[in-house]
């Protein structure tokens, strides 16, 4: 049986926010259909920059980005969304002045179909949101806002979801709840790239993981193998290492 083609492939990508000052220094990365892949590493390693580059918020200076067999380097985020990719940034990921239901409707802005069935699916996936559908997003707890951000992205039924630090600033109980939801979303068939500060938890649930350091992919392997790798443990999973 032939090996599956990658859903997403990042090849030798250099990218950054300032000309001639690249944060990503030749990153290579692959994601296969249905996988959950964690991206971990220290602060400043380029984790969030990688997510923004994949989603078209930053254009790579060199290298290639292939999604579903098509080059997406240079495409705008709205074009990438229509190809089947969703992105949830770490901050400002919901419209705080809009209700929960209005946020979900905004998430489906390119759909030309009735949205009720889609909204019902989201409320089934995130029951905590169902009873708050008319509540303004700004009044939700941090964990509920994170679930709303995921629900909003899922309204377009993406084949790939990019999550940038979903557990940031959440209490341990809310972190567990959000991670359970991420696991369920992945089990429903959506591939996930999880950029995460909570390295242990991310690797525990990931099929595979990448460790970025100084803008390069330093380690790559199965999540459980990276979790048990003494070098990775010493450098990135120690008690003093938050990212």
pLDDT in tens, 181-215: 999 999 999 999 999 989 999 999 999 999 999 99
Confidence class of residue 112 from pLDDT cuts 50, 70 and 90? low
Among residues 6, 8, 4, which one has the least CA distance to residue 193? 8
Question: What does the alpha-carbon distance between residue 73 and residue 62 come to, in Å, rounded to a whole number?
Answer: 9
Among residues 238, 203, 237, 239, which one has the least CA distance to residue 223? 203
- Whether the model pTM is above 0.75: yes
Q: What is the DSSP string of 216-238?
A: EEEEEEEHHHHHH-HHHHHHHSS
Question: What does the alpha-carbon distance between residue 61 and residue 73 come to, in Å, rounded to a whole number?
Answer: 9
Where helices occur in 84-160 by DSSP H, the ranges are 100-107, 116-125, 127-130, 142-154
Q: What is the DSSP string of 26-54?
A: EEEEEE-TT-EEEEE-STTSSHHHHHHHH
Query: In the chain, count of helices (H) and strands (E)?
Result: 10, 10
The pLDDT of residue 15 is 96
Question: What does the alpha-carbon distance between residue 201 and residue 224 come to, in Å, rounded to a whole number?
Answer: 11
CATH T-level assignment (fold) for domain 8-236: Rossmann fold (3.40.50)
The β-bridge partners of 219 are 211
pLDDT higher than 60, residue 66: yes
pLDDT higher than 70, residue 242: no
C-alpha torsion angle, residues 90, 83, 159, 232 (rounded to 10): -50
Query: Are β-strands 62-67 and 24-31 bridged in parallel, bridged antiparallel, or unpaired?
Result: unpaired
- Within a 13 Å sphere around the CA of 165, how many CA atoms are in the beta-carbon half? 21
The β-bridge partners of 212 are 217
For residue 187, CA distances in Å to 41, 68, 207 come to 25, 20, 12
User: Taking residues 118-140, what's their average pLDDT?
Assistant: 92
Confidence class of residue 234 from pLDDT cuts 50, 70 and 90? confident
């Amino acid at each position: 049986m032939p090996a599956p083609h990658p859903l997403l492939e990042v090849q030798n990508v250099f990218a950054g926010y300032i000309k001639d000052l690249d944060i990503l220094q030749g990153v290579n990365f692959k994601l296969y259909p249905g996988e959950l892949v964690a991206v971990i590493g220290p602060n400043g390693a380029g984790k969030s920059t990688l997510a923004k580059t994949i989603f078209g918020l930053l254009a790579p200076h060199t290298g290639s980005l292939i999604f579903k067999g098509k080059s997406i380097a240079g495409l705008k985020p709205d074009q990438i969304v229509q190809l089947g990719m969703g992105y949830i940034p770490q901050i400002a990921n919901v419209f705080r002045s809009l209700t929960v239901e209005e946020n979900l409707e905004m998430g489906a802005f390119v759909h030309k179909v009735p949205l009720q069935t889609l909204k019902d699916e989201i409320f089934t996936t995130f029951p905590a949101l169902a009873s708050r559908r008319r509540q303004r997003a700004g009044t939700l707890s941090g964990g509920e806002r994170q679930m709303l951000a995921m629900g909003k992205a899922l309204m377009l039924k993406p084949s790939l979801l990019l999550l940038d630090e979903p557990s940031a600033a959440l209490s341990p109980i809310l972190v567990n709840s959000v991670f359970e939801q991420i696991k369920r979303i992945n089990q429903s068939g959506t591939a996930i790239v999880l950029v995460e500060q909570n390295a242990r938890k991310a690797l525990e649930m990931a099929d595979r993981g990448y460790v970025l350091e100084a803008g390069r992919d330093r380690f790559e392997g199965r999540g459980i193998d990276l979790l048990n790798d003494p070098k990775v443990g010493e450098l990135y999973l120690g008690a003093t290492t938050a990212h």
